[in-house]
Amino acid sequence: MSETGSPPRAILRDSHASRLIQAVAGLLDRPMAWIQRAVGGRGMAYVFLAPNILFFGLFVFLPIGINMAMSLTGGTNLFLSERPFIGGDHYRGLMQCGSYLDPASCREDHFWKGVSNTLKFTLFQMVAMVGTALVTALVLNRKIRGRGFFRAVYFFPVLLSPVVVALIWKWILQRDGLLNGAITLAGGEKILFFVEPGWAMFWAVFVSVWAHMGFYTLILLAGLQAIPADLYEAAEMDGTKPMRVLTRITLPLLWPNLVVVLVLVLIKAVQTFDEVFVLTGGGPGTATLMVVQYIYETAFANQVQNFGLAAAASMLLGSLLFALTMLQLWIARRKAA
Amino acid sequence: MAGLVLKGIGKSFGPVEVLRGIDLEVANGEFVVFVGPSGCGKSTLLRVIAGLEEVTAGTIRIDDEDVTGQRAAERGLAMVFQSYALYPHMSVYRNIAFALENMRLPPAEIEARVRRAATMLRLTDYLDRKPGALSGGQRQRVAIGRAVVRDPKIFLFDEPLSNLDAELRVATRKELAGLHAEIGGTMIYVTHDQVEAMTLANRIVVLNKGRIEQVGTPLDLYNRPANLFVAGFIGSPRMNFIRGRVGPEGRLVTPDGKVTLPLPPGLAAAGEVTLGIRPEHVAPCSAGEADARIAVELVEQLGSESYLYGTLADGTALTLRSPLEDPARRGEDVPVRFDPARLHLFDAAGLAIRP
């Protein structure tokens, strides 16, 4: 820290907080010095990393390993030692299909229905999410009255738990919900949103966009605000029409942020579970059943709990997410460079 | 015919009045420089002319057409920004061609105009590069090229050299002067650097607190400043000011009576006045011909000349240029003589008193 940036020494010396910090630091001084003598200066880096590595190992890497082992074993027992090794049978079972385009022809038809629904959901959600977030960011980037208020309003749903979001919309959309109340009041007939497959998927996408759009709007807004204002003034002097400003200046300069948003939306969409599960329960039938819901039900909700099959499906999904995350990191690094 | 006429221009941002009652005429082909300290409103005035800011009062006419309510794009002007404002994702060629594409000119004409501008500005080898791969000077030339290629009614420059280093500034300044001589367009240039103003301008407009203090040729402003502000702003180091009263013998007497100095000949002045003299018009002399003595506090040696900073007997600061390589030392008491033909006198309100 620079001289000017640090607080005056007198204040630091006198504050209670600093005395407490100094006392704690004093207590740690001796053991730390002892550890440093034992492991050397370079080794200290690993000492400081150790707690985090342990935490990650215990709650991330170990479960991945157990999951992998689960996917290669059979039976209904939860303990690995009691489960017989069956190799790639679960994977083969999941991939066994007459045609991958027709989930009904697959041995694990619900898995493939989940894949198909997740793909549809992802595609619709990506277009709707990026489109809405972009338009909202463009509007909020203008000097409009109450801009701060609107920025907060659009961000608030992001703070809500997915279950709360889904419950709110369930109350609005159910047979005797708010929306149907309004429709009947206007003289229309009630629509059974959760009974018609098309409507159910539409609302699953809509609610997801409503809940998360604020976050992506924020990323895009940050990108828009990083575009120097004088570029727009130069464009104005150059006689550029607004649509051309958007397509030739704003969007190309926003492109790195847009790509980050696209990949993040993609990853989130593939992972979708809680909101849609609470909202539609995957129904009607399997119309909004997502892959993650299939994994959850196969492992925990079905009468016969097939941990191995669920683990194999989650390994496949995990591989896809890993690839997408690598893509996102690559893009982010390229942007930073 | 005047290329640009400003009448009663006022501009406020909320309660803050940035420009007040600006009246100015700029003839076609003129190079006019707006100069003034930070916050004087010079950049705002340029942006008002450009159409990037709306006026709160007054009218703007370009080539006898009232353009006050017109958008920037409709005014037919081009602007070179302080930050260059080049589109970072476009090549130099695309940057220069962008406005022409907006005008929907035929591709062949766009190509011809871009190539012509690039040749003139020595950018031909860089047309495929992005702005990020150019030096500051090259970027500046691209920004100028972007303006030139449009053949605008007026070129507007907003402190275009302020991001360049000292050497490049001098070189680019010469290029701009050459460009004006070559294409002969009307140019309005904003700077806080009076050397740029003096070297480039046909006429300089000195602004202070949103008002025009004086408009004139560079030498007019240097030799005949209208008031204390202009006298102090134009010239470096700034003009010396000595406050006092006109004494019974027609000489200036400082308030404590310790210093008496000659007044400019032929001026009828009385009461409170301020005497002004530029450092280059005060010279060390022999004790017999001295008008005053200064106690030297600082000596700046610039090689070809030196500046002495000191105080008169009453404590008034005085700077003078000494042609000697080893003029005086700190703490010395130096007799000095004022060039009587170069004295300026200002009344109590700060306005120049002229014969």
Same domain, B131 and B251: no
The partner residue sitting opposite A236, judged by closest CB among B72, B82, B150, is B72
Which of A223-232, B32-41, B106-115, B282-291 bottoms out in mean pLDDT, i.e. has the lowest? Answer: B282-291
In chain B, whose CA is at the least distance from the CA of A256? B89
Residue B17's DSSP bridge partners are B12
Same domain, B218 and B116: yes
Query: Quick check: bond before B131 cis, omega within 30?
Result: no
Count CB-CB contacts under 10 A for residue B182: 11
Q: Rounded mean pLDDT of B78-83?
A: 92
Query: Do the domain assignments include residue B25?
Result: yes
Query: Do the domain assignments include residue B8?
Result: yes
Label each residue of B284-336 as H, E or C. ECCHHHCCEEEEEEEEEECCCCEEEEEECCCCCEEEEEECCCCCCCCCCEEEE
Residue-averaged pLDDT of chain B: 90
Where exactly are the structural domains of chain A?
A: 9-71, 100-336
Give the model's pLDDT for residue A3: 43
Query: Do the domain assignments include residue B354?
Result: no
Measured in whole angstroms, the distance separating CA B312 from the mean position of its chain's CA atoms is: 30
A144 neighbors A201 (Cβ within 8 angstroms): no
Helices (H), B184-217: 194-200
The set of residues, in sequence order, having a beta carbon less than 8 Å from that of A259 and lying 6+ positions away, is A331, A335
Segments forming the whole domain that contains residue B247: 237-346
Q: Which of B52, B53, B104 to mutate to test the interface with A (most CBs of A within 10 A)?
A: B52
Give the model's pLDDT for residue A7: 53
The pLDDT tens digits for A227-274 are: 999 999 999 999 899 999 999 999 999 988 998 899 899 989 999 999
Give the model's pLDDT for residue A26: 87
B260 neighbors B300 (Cβ within 8 angstroms): no
Q: Does A249 touch chain B (CB under 8 A)?
A: yes
Cβ distance of B50 and A237 shorter than 8 Å:
yes
Q: Rounded mean pLDDT of A39-68?
A: 93
Same domain, B261 and B281: yes
Cβ distance of B98 and A252 shorter than 8 Å:
no
Statement: residue A334 has pLDDT above 80: no
Cβ distance of B85 and A252 shorter than 8 Å:
no
Distance from CA of B272 to the nearest CA of A (A): 46
Query: Do the domain assignments include residue B355?
Result: no
Q: What is the dihedral of CA B149, B150, B153, B158, to 10 degrees?
A: -70
Q: Does A237 touch chain B (CB under 8 A)?
A: yes
Cβ distance of A234 and B52 shorter than 8 Å:
no
* Confidence label for A337 from pLDDT (cuts 50, 70 and 90): low
Helices (H), B51-133: 92-102, 107-120
What b/e readout covers B219-230, taking b as 16+ CB neighbours within 10 angstroms?
ebbbeebbbbbb
Q: What is the dihedral of CA B126, B130, B135, B139, to 10 degrees?
A: 90
Number of domains in chain B: 2
The partner residue sitting opposite A230, judged by closest CB among B81, B89, B98, is B81
Residue after which a domain boundary falls, among B200, B226, B252 = B226
Distance of alpha carbon B148 from alpha carbon B123, whole angstroms: 13
Note the CATH number of domain A100-336: 1.10.3720.10
Cβ distance of B146 and A228 shorter than 8 Å:
no
Distance of alpha carbon B263 from alpha carbon B274, whole angstroms: 10
* Confidence label for B325 from pLDDT (cuts 50, 70 and 90): low
Q: Which of A143, A227, A232, A237 to mutate to test the interface with B (most CBs of B within 10 A)?
A: A237
How many beta-carbon pairs below 8 A join chains A and B?
56
Give the model's pLDDT for residue B136: 87
Residue after which a domain boundary falls, among B226, B254, B280 = B226
Distance of alpha carbon B136 from alpha carbon B139, whole angstroms: 5
Query: Do the domain assignments include residue B232?
Result: no
Count CB-CB contacts under 10 A for residue B274: 19
Same domain, B62 and B82: yes
Distance of alpha carbon A249 from alpha carbon B251, whole angstroms: 66
Give the model's pLDDT for residue A1: 39
Which residues in chain B are closer than 8 Å to A253, comparing Cβ atoms? 88-89
Statement: residue A5 has pLDDT above 50: no
CATH number at residue B340: 2.40.50.140
Distance from CA of B34 to the nearest CA of A (A): 20
Query: Do the domain assignments include residue B296?
Result: yes
Same domain, B214 and B326: no
Cβ distance of A240 and B102 shorter than 8 Å:
yes
At B227, is the secondary structure helix, strand, or coil? strand
Same domain, B208 and B283: no
Same domain, B217 and B261: no
- Distance of CA A216 to CAs A69, A84, A246, Å? 37, 46, 19
Tokens at residue A179, please? 């929306």
Give the model's pLDDT for residue B175: 84
Q: Rounded mean pLDDT of A180-207?
A: 93
* Confidence label for A145 from pLDDT (cuts 50, 70 and 90): confident
Residue-averaged pLDDT of chain A: 89
Give the model's pLDDT for residue A2: 41
The pLDDT tens digits for A282-316 are: 989 899 999 999 999 999 988 888 999 999 999 99
Same domain, B24 and B45: yes
Cβ distance of B52 and A237 shorter than 8 Å:
yes
Same domain, B16 and B81: yes
Q: Give the rounded percent of residues in chain B with a pLDDT score beyond 90.
A: 64
Query: Do the domain assignments include residue B159?
Result: yes
The partner residue sitting opposite B79, judged by closest CB among A228, A237, A244, is A237
Statement: residue A29 has pLDDT above 50: yes
The set of residues, in sequence order, having a beta carbon less than 8 Å from that of A31 and lying 6+ positions away, is none
